[in-house]
Structure 1
Amino acid sequence: MMVDVQEVKVVVAHDERATLRVGDVFLKIDADQTRVDAEVEAMAMVPIPTPEILWRKPPVLALAALPCTPLGRLGEPSTASPAAWAAAGAAVRTLHDAPLPPRLGRSVDEIASDLDSECEWLVTNGVLPTDLVTRNRQVAEAALRPWTPVFIHGDLQITHVFVDGDEITGVLDWSEAAQGDALFDLAILTLGHEEHLDDVVAGYGTDVDLDVIRGWWSLRSLLAFRWLVEHGFDPSSPGCEIDVLRSRM
């Protein structure tokens, strides 16, 4: 007897992990179980909506699909309302006000060391123009300062934030959750969508240093460039990392 099989959609796949969607279930396959442990632990602690964990059988974690649609996508105009972006800012503030998770994030010195290494690689290999790298390394300096740790998502891309109209229905992918800089989350949420920064900050509800946000945009784009290329992504696509870097020139 034939059994109905729902369509399997590859959401993301690279050498480190893969996420598949089968009907209303997401299957996350990750060889690094410590990363999955961190994700499960974080989801149990956060005060904002997250996907329901259906089951776990290493190396697979099964999550229920979140309702509605992502806030947007990098490289594409967001159709979400200003109120939805503000709601995302408010959700991030709720997260940042929560008790700290046990997992420590990277230190300023570690990030600065990685940034220097990546900038050297980008220039030495002719991947990006020297003036582009130099200028964005200068902008990134604003982010390299002491901060008071808060509970951060750690990879708050707009594709990880789901909305229904003006309401947040949930936030995905907590594998990088840790103690870290609050402005890093705000920067990743608005990366490539600078036009929505004011809405996010309004929803966040407190003054933020916009130079630090811009610093994190440059820093994240420089750090991610080699990884993206080596894992089959195109940082030169319209609205993506190269455009983010060029916007600081």
Structure 2
Amino acid sequence: MAAVDKVEIVLAHEERATLRVGDVFLKVDPDQERTDVEVEAMTLAPVPTPQVLWRKPPVLALAAVRGKELGRIGRPSTASPAAWVAAGAAVRRLHDAPLPPWPGPGPEQYAADLESECAWLLANDILPAAVVERNREVAGAVLRPWNPVFVHGDLHVSHVFAEGDEITGIIDWSEAAQGDALRDLASLTLGHEEHLGDVIAGYGAGADIDVVRGWWSLRSLLAGRWLVEHGFDPDSPGCEFDVLRAASART
């Protein structure tokens, strides 16, 4: 690794931290089962992933991937429409791959979590009751049986990297599992609804828009408490609470 003059804190909270030192990312996570999943998922996934440089628990060292993030929630994406199409195609390759050996949460678990998190949002007066109740209704579209596929599980737009129109890497695989394909499509386009058509163009058949919208509502409702308690602001423009308000306004 070339000489560097600073350490960049990419993410830091009580559960884990990620640091960037030059062209190396150091992920510090005391939960080694989560790291086991990340390493194995990157091995199994038929899409570009970071190279594992070394692992000395609780630290995992990964090489930086080329390019830059497809975008960030709360900010307009500067990536080309073709890059978003390519991201959809990459997600399709992942979903067509053999299933990983570990299951993810099912509809029953999401239903229980939804009730718990909505109750917390209402009890703490975080959002208007009408917004919470409307999004709980929209999220109900998710709570149906699905045929499990290999999902990334945390496919935020900032976890997908592109160089020009090419997808160069997908990072942060610790929540990879068997799950609902539309969860990944919704995560990728959360806060970037204007690019949903591009993603679906690359992904192909099988994207039920009502269920994608359901996942936008579900993920935003479930994320609220965690984000608030870990020092993040889901009420920033374009972020999770804006997604919920937009859904409640949509007829």
Band the TM-score falls in, shorter-chain normalisation: over 0.9
Structure 2 residue aligned with 1:150: 149
Structure 2 residue aligned with 1:10: 9
> In the aligned structure 1, how far is the partner of 2:96 from the partner of 2:145?
18
Report the residue type matching 1:87 in the other structure: A
Structure 1 residue aligned with 2:50: 51
> In the aligned structure 2, how far is the partner of 1:35 from the partner of 1:221?
22
Alignment of 1:70-219 (within 5 A): 70-219=69-218
Q: TM-score, normalised by structure 1?
A: 0.98
Structure 1 residue aligned with 2:66: 67
Report the residue type matching 1:215 in the other structure: G
| 3-state SS in 2 of match to 1:16 | coil
Q: Deviations over 1:164-208 (max 9, x none)?
A: 000000100000000000000000000000000000000001141
> In the aligned structure 2, how far is the partner of 1:7 from the partner of 1:70?
21
Q: Deviations over 1:7-65 (max 9, x none)?
A: 10000111100000000000000010000000001011010010000000000000000
Alignment of 1:225-240 (within 5 A): 225-240=224-239
Q: Structure 1 unaligned runs (5+)?
A: none
> In the aligned structure 1, how far is the partner of 2:206 from the partner of 2:29?
38
Whether the aligned pair in 1 keeps the contact of 2:67 and 2:161 (CA below 8 Å) is yes
Report the residue type matching 2:203 in the other structure: Y
> In the aligned structure 1, how far is the partner of 2:76 from the partner of 2:11?
21
Whether the aligned pair in 1 keeps the contact of 2:71 and 2:78 (CA below 8 Å) is yes
Report the residue type matching 1:158 in the other structure: V
> In the aligned structure 2, how far is the partner of 1:125 from the partner of 1:196?
33
With 198-207 and 89-98 compared, the bigger mean Cα shift is at: 198-207
Percentage identity across aligned positions? 70
Deviation at 1:5, TM superposition (A): 4.7
Structure 2 residue aligned with 1:222: 221
> In the aligned structure 1, how far is the partner of 2:78 from the partner of 2:247?
25
Deviation at 1:124, TM superposition (A): 1.3
Report the residue type matching 1:127 in the other structure: I
Q: TM-score, normalised by structure 2?
A: 0.97
Report the residue type matching 1:30 in the other structure: D
Report the residue type matching 2:231 in the other structure: G
> In the aligned structure 2, how far is the partner of 1:121 from the partner of 1:233?
17
> In the aligned structure 1, how far is the partner of 2:80 from the partner of 2:202?
13
Report the residue type matching 1:12 in the other structure: L
Whether the aligned pair in 1 keeps the contact of 2:24 and 2:63 (CA below 8 Å) is yes
Report the residue type matching 2:39 in the other structure: V
Q: Deviations over 1:201-242 (max 9, x none)?
A: 000011411000000000000000000000110000110011
Structure 2 residue aligned with 1:38: 37
Deviation at 1:6, TM superposition (A): 3.0
| 3-state SS in 2 of match to 1:248 | helix
> In the aligned structure 1, how far is the partner of 2:74 from the partner of 2:123?
27
Report the residue type matching 1:16 in the other structure: E
Whether the aligned pair in 1 keeps the contact of 2:4 and 2:22 (CA below 8 Å) is no
Question: What is the Cα-based RMSD across aligned positions, in Å?
Answer: 1.0
Deviation at 1:127, TM superposition (A): 1.2
With 224-233 and 203-212 compared, the bigger mean Cα shift is at: 203-212
